[in-house]
Amino acid sequence: MQPNEANIVAQFLLPTVKREHEITRKVIAAVPAPKCTYTPDERSMTAIDLAWHLASSEWMFSRMVVDGAMPGGEGKRPDGIQTPEDVLKFYDETVAPVKAELSSVTPEQFAKVIDFHGMFQAPAVTYMSLMLNHSSHHRGQLSVYLRPMGVKVPGIYGPSGDEPITRPAKA
């Protein structure tokens, strides 16, 4: 992929990355701390681990694009991340700033080929798209946990059964 082509794709994806960030934040914020160890099945992640996976993966994919390489680390939830509030703090203080850096990545950086754990290589901009798909998938999983935990499900791409659509008075 040529730098100008990678840049066109990136400029198309950047507004979606910003919009999806806010949606993911809403879903993580809805996880109740007293029930964050909830899991619908023994093979499923707990709510706190799923929230962490969402946040840390978005950081990883964004960091890859900005730095042009896979960041180090295992991705396991650190001992200091025990509550949804801890995840939100990480999301606000660590993930949001690196996503903001995506706006200043050069066309050459977007086109740089990056190795993904030795499984495949792709231009950096590809990881922005992969991040959006990955986050949508896991955010959907986490949103399904919410009602059984006894909390309201926020609207994601429109109203939910718990957050109805609000129309302007003139509509």
Domain borders along the chain are 3-149
User: What was the pLDDT predicted at 171?
Assistant: 61
Cα–Cα distance list, 31 to 3, 39, 111, 167 (Å): 40, 12, 37, 27
User: What was the pLDDT predicted at 154?
Assistant: 93
Class of domain 3-149: mainly alpha
The Cα–Cα gap between 83 and 128 comes to 27
User: What was the pLDDT predicted at 7?
Assistant: 97
> How many other C-beta atoms are found inside a 10 Å radius of the C-beta of residue 114?
19
If we measure between CA atoms, which residue out of 97, 98, 106, 6 comes closest to residue 61?
98
pTM of the model: 0.91
Torsion angle of C-alpha atoms 76, 78, 84, 90, degrees rounded to 10: -100
The Cα–Cα gap between 136 and 107 comes to 26
If phi > 0 it is left, if psi is from -120 to 50 it is alpha, else beta; for residue 44 that is: beta
User: What was the pLDDT predicted at 9?
Assistant: 97
If we measure between CA atoms, which residue out of 36, 11, 8, 6 comes closest to residue 102?
11
Q: What's the gap between Cα 15 and its chain centre? A: 14
Successive 10-residue mean pLDDT values, the chain, 171 residues: 97 96 96 96 96 96 95 84 96 94 97 94 97 96 96 91 80 61
The Cα–Cα gap between 70 and 31 comes to 29
User: What was the pLDDT predicted at 138?
Assistant: 96
Convert 118-149 to b/e letters by CB count within 10 Å (16 or more is b).
Answer: eeeeebbbbbbbebbebbeebbebbbebbeee
